Amino acid sequence: MSGHWGILVSDPWLQNQFTQVELRSLKSQFVSMRRESGRLAVGDLASKMSRLKVVGENLSEEERASYIQDLYQNTSEEVDFELFLKVYLKLQSFASSRTGSNAKNSSAFLKAATTTLLHTISESEKASYVAHINNYLAGDEFLKKCLPIDSSTNDLFEIAKDGVLLCKLINVAVPRTIDERAINTKRLLNPWERNENHTLCLNSAKAIGCTVVNIGTQDLIEGRRHLVLGLISQIIKIQLLADLNLKKTPQLVELVSDSEGMEELMSLAPEKILLRWMNFHLKKSGYKKIVTNFSSDVRDAEAYAHLLNVLAPEYTNPSTLAVKNPYERAKLVLEHADKMGCERYITGRDIVEGSPNLNLAFVAHIFQHRNGLSTQAKQSSLLENLLDDTQDSREERAFRLWINSLGNSTYINNVFEDVRNGWVLLETLDKVSPGIVNWKIANKPPIKLPFKKVENCNQVVKIGKQLKFSLVNIAGNDIVQGYKKLILAYLWQLMRYNILQLLKNLRFHSHGKEITDADILRWANSRVSSSGSQSRMDSFKDKSVSDGIFFLELLSSVQPRAVNWGLVTKGITDQEKMMNATYIISIARKLGCSIFLLPEDITEVNQKMILTLTATIMYWFLKHPLEERTVGSSDSESGSQLETTSNSTLDEDSVSDSSAEENGSM
């Protein structure tokens, strides 16, 4: 910070938190507040800050007053500009924690990181995430030259600039998401290769459930701290909460008593299940309060003391609950956790200051290490319905991730539960076909009256019919009742409609004619044939494509340097097929394809997912001009096919303008 405005802020740390534009705006607000009463005291800030963005929108005056009182005992102290900024930053952090912990569908660790005016980062959180990275990636051969990272520096953001660390971290969170053969890991990457790594990273992050709507590859290449840390925090959160579902941890059934409770539990976000689990044990300990968030409700560390006494009574220290100072109690709690062998990256100060992200991480570590639930899960009918058809489960996952990637205001955790009020489907329809939803007759959650949910779902069905979906004998109430097959059928048609519309909008020479499944199939075969291959896909359920060779040839035909054929297997055994399938998905994402299928969808030839994969590759090809597809160099140290070809220009006849029979349709 320099110039006139920088002089007003002498604290170097504060200087780094604001741009000049932000500082001018806040200075103007500060001067206005002080002018109104002639003097601005700490006690005045709760009411005065109601006009500020984020702080005023997400916190009540009572909440602001209570939080400021905890921070500053002397409320009559006069406020200068620097103190004003410090209070604002703390309130902003508190506001984001309240939003994150109270919002049912909050999905991001650093929810405020990409949505607020100020691009601040928490040094405590940075230190915690660096420790996590140092621990989990310590044995990585490529990263050993830069690990361990020093959390007191900005080395994390420099190391993340080539994209390798972020890709590796995604694989720690959800193993085998990225085929590491697709990561560019030369010691010195050119700009094109760095961009490919970040494209692979962002598309893979979406595929595991991260919200990356406001993050681009350039943000990561430039090492923009708040965005890099926000993405890292989401990835780590997904890793820590991975076991908080009934399929991974069936013992969680102990938290419910009937089928209704089971349905409710299945619809909860993982962090809400973690709170449910925590309160389940706290009730056993005789703790009277209900913990509703990982911030203000745990700041005194009493809940932690009771929780650990239940989970690990052998390490109980009577002094923990006897001490009056919350900070001293927090330190004793952490000593208890250490004796249990829990990995933790939180300090006593983080607990007392109510850091929501670090407290959530701490509790998740405790759950992973010792959940205290019965090892013998209830052998009851409650769990019988849990073993859904594998195909339905995979499709639910693909549709859920696709919906969340659109940037809707509502983040869903379970398609079958979260779409039943119709709101999410209306939001998705509006993203796919802007303006098609009549919001005047839509009912926004929370919706208590059942008929209001039916009204929303009736509009969903009506719009579906308008878009020519096959919805014979389907009514809005069927969605409200949560009929899985009907919901999956609707979402498949919506997803397919979306990609076909995207293709139609790119095909200016199609004269407004609809793109069909048969057109996509014909295009794919034409591309592969033009590269000199004899491979062919007869339909989207052609079992011959299970070895992956056809799609590797398709990817190579649209981007000659994409595939390193030295890494491709013959695709004969199941293992070889799986290796090719994981490579296909990573290469497609590396190009820029946003896809949500699993390798099994290719090896088992799930025709719906095969169609979306083919259509997405086609969309990428048509969207990028020839020069963008022929720039760059090898994607690995061992080299790949570098030659370009005149065949990479679009064959105008490769997609028929005729309305041929859709032999590849669903």
Predicted local confidence at residue 641, as pLDDT: 29
Predicted local confidence at residue 4, as pLDDT: 39
Q: Using a CB cutoff of 8 Å and minimum separation of 24, what contacts does 128-131 make?
A: 128/345, 128/346, 128/350, 128/357, 128/358, 128/361, 129/156, 129/229, 129/232, 129/233, 129/236, 129/345, 130/156, 131/345
Predicted local confidence at residue 38, as pLDDT: 75
Q: Are the CB atoms for 271 and 241 separated by under 8 Å?
A: yes
Which one, of 132, 195, 134, lies nearest residue 161 by Cα?
A: 195
What are the residues facing 66 on neighbouring strands? none
The DSSP annotation for 360-387 comes to HHHHHHHHHH-----SS---SHHHHTTS
Predicted local confidence at residue 9, as pLDDT: 66
- The whole-angstrom separation of Cα 218 and Cα 229 is 15
DSSP 444: P
Reported as a single tens digit per residue, the pLDDT across 86-144 is: 888 888 777 765 544 333 333 334 333 333 334 567 889 999 999 999 999 999 999 99
Does pLDDT of 220 surpass 50? yes
- The whole-angstrom separation of Cα 588 and Cα 401 is 17
Mean pLDDT of 322-335: 94
Does pLDDT of 190 surpass 80? yes
Predicted local confidence at residue 112, as pLDDT: 35
| Average pLDDT taken over every residue of the chain | 83
Largest Cα–Cα distance of the chain, in whole Å? 83
Which one, of 359, 205, 207, lies nearest residue 215 by Cα?
A: 205
Does pLDDT of 662 surpass 60? no
Reported as a single tens digit per residue, the pLDDT across 364-422 is: 999 999 999 986 655 455 555 554 556 668 899 999 999 999 888 888 988 998 999 99
Where residue 624 falls among pLDDT bands split at 50, 70, 90? confident
Predicted local confidence at residue 511, as pLDDT: 59
Please indicate whether residue 330 or residue 68 has the higher confidence score (pLDDT).
Answer: 330
**124-128, 231-235, 264-268 — which is least confidently predicted?**
264-268
Q: Are the CB atoms for 369 and 336 separated by under 8 Å?
A: no
**70-74, 215-219, 348-352 — which is least confidently predicted?**
70-74
Where residue 630 falls among pLDDT bands split at 50, 70, 90? low
Predicted local confidence at residue 385, as pLDDT: 54
**Residue percentage of the chain with pLDDT more than 70:** 82
Does pLDDT of 534 surpass 80? yes
Predicted local confidence at residue 53, as pLDDT: 65
- The whole-angstrom separation of Cα 633 and Cα 623 is 21
| Contacts for 191 with CB less than 8 Å, ≥ 6 apart | 221
Mean pLDDT of 58-84: 81
Predicted local confidence at residue 259, as pLDDT: 67
Predicted local confidence at residue 461, as pLDDT: 97
**32-36, 73-77, 117-121, 604-608 — which is least confidently predicted?**
117-121
Predicted local confidence at residue 625, as pLDDT: 67
Q: At what angle do helices 326-340 and 302-311 cross, to 10 degrees?
A: 20
CA angle 104, 107, 111 (to 5 degrees): 105
Where residue 17 falls among pLDDT bands split at 50, 70, 90? low
| Phi/psi of residue 494, nearest 5 degrees | -70, -45
Does pLDDT of 317 surpass 50? yes
CA angle 182, 184, 189 (to 5 degrees): 165
Please indicate whether residue 455 or residue 10 has the higher confidence score (pLDDT).
Answer: 455
Q: Are the CB atoms for 613 and 581 separated by under 8 Å?
A: no
Does pLDDT of 184 surpass 80? yes
Predicted local confidence at residue 67, as pLDDT: 80
**147-156, 166-175, 262-271 — which is least confidently predicted?**
262-271
DSSP 514: P
Predicted local confidence at residue 637, as pLDDT: 34
Please indicate whether residue 257 or residue 293 has the higher confidence score (pLDDT).
Answer: 293
Predicted local confidence at residue 664, as pLDDT: 38
Does pLDDT of 659 surpass 80? no
Instruction: Retrieve residue 60's tokens.
Output: 């009540």
CA angle 559, 560, 566 (to 5 degrees): 120
**247-265 as b/e: b if 16+ CB within 10 A:** eebebbbbbbeeeeebbeb
Mean pLDDT of 516-520: 95
DSSP 134: H
Mean pLDDT of 571-577: 97
Q: Look up the pTM and report it.
A: 0.77
What are the residues facing 78 on neighbouring strands? 41
